Amino acid sequence: MIRRIIFNKIGLFFLTLTFTSAPLFAQVKLKNVKISNKISMKIPSKFIEMGEEDMWQRSSSYRKAIALYSDEDRVVELGINHAFTRWEEGDILLLQNMYMASIQEIFDEVKFSKEEITNINGRDFAVFEFVSKIKGISGSIGKNNSVVKYYYIQYTIVDGGTFVFNFSCQNYVKEDWQETAKIIMGTIKIK
């Protein structure tokens, strides 16, 4: 009798664990995409490529992105850019320090969870994972106009220039996308 109760409790425990943790193990389906002659990677199969107008509106520089993708709700974005800042192939640590300072200047608050150099498919990348905050307009009573976003950004040096891979989403969906962002960024291949 006691043995049966113990087995029933163990069975119930594993059944509960299976159903409550299933969403944690569910992964977004990815598809291979050739970004340019030099770049390929996997992106979520439901992502859509943004058109010219969207790319110009979302571009943070005077140069249009190489590619820009979004989910259907436009809450999640993946951008690939090329900066023409000149670097030597061995300057990845210097590049990492420069972009870390730059990230800290762009936002009002930044909380880094990762800042490292990682080798992906034979190429070194400066990797930053963080949550940023841009404070809203003060003076609004009872309103929080701040913008809080999750970012996973990778920089690498190619032929003296910098390629930037930028995954971002609204912070309220961070938990849904964080692991997928890491998987996507691990699939980047540059010739």
28 pLDDT band, cuts 50/70/90, is confident
Distance (Å, rounded) from C-alpha 167 to C-alpha 174? 11
> What is the pLDDT, as a whole number, of residue 15?
37
DSSP 8-state assignment for residue 173? G
Average pLDDT (66-89) is: 91
Question: Could you report the per-residue pLDDT of 84-106, keeping only the tens digit for each?
Answer: 788 988 899 999 999 999 999 99
Residues present in the chain in total: 191
Question: Could you report the per-residue pLDDT of 143-171, keeping only the tens digit for each?
Answer: 668 899 999 999 999 999 999 999 999 99
65 pLDDT band, cuts 50/70/90, is confident
The residues, ordered by sequence, that sit 6+ positions from 106 with a Cβ below 8 Å of its Cβ are 132
| Exposed/middle/buried for residue 37 (C-beta within 10 Å: 0-12, 13-18, 19+) | exposed
Distance (Å, rounded) from C-alpha 46 to C-alpha 104? 32
Mean pLDDT score of the chain = 83
The residues, ordered by sequence, that sit 6+ positions from 141 with a Cβ below 8 Å of its Cβ are none
DSSP helix/strand/coil, 131: strand
Q: Is the pLDDT of residue 180 over 90?
A: yes
| Distances, alpha carbon 98 to alpha carbons 68, 148, 155, in Å | 24, 23, 11
Average pLDDT (58-64) is: 63
Please name the CATH architecture into which domain 28-190 falls: 3-Layer(aba) Sandwich (3.40)
Whether the Cβ atoms of residue 168 and residue 76 lie closer than 8 Å to each other: yes
Q: Is the pLDDT of residue 9 over 90?
A: no
> What is the pLDDT, as a whole number, of residue 137?
66
Average pLDDT (5-28) is: 42
DSSP 8-state assignment for residue 172? G
Structure tokens at 159: 């032929």
Q: Is the pLDDT of residue 23 over 90?
A: no
Whether the Cβ atoms of residue 36 and residue 163 lie closer than 8 Å to each other: no
Q: Is the pLDDT of residue 22 over 50?
A: no
Instruction: Return the higher-pLDDT residue of 3 and 140.
Output: 140
Structure tokens at 171: 């912070």
Distance (Å, rounded) from C-alpha 52 to C-alpha 58? 10
Distance (Å, rounded) from C-alpha 191 to C-alpha 137? 45
> What is the pLDDT, as a whole number, of residue 55?
65
Average pLDDT (13-22) is: 38
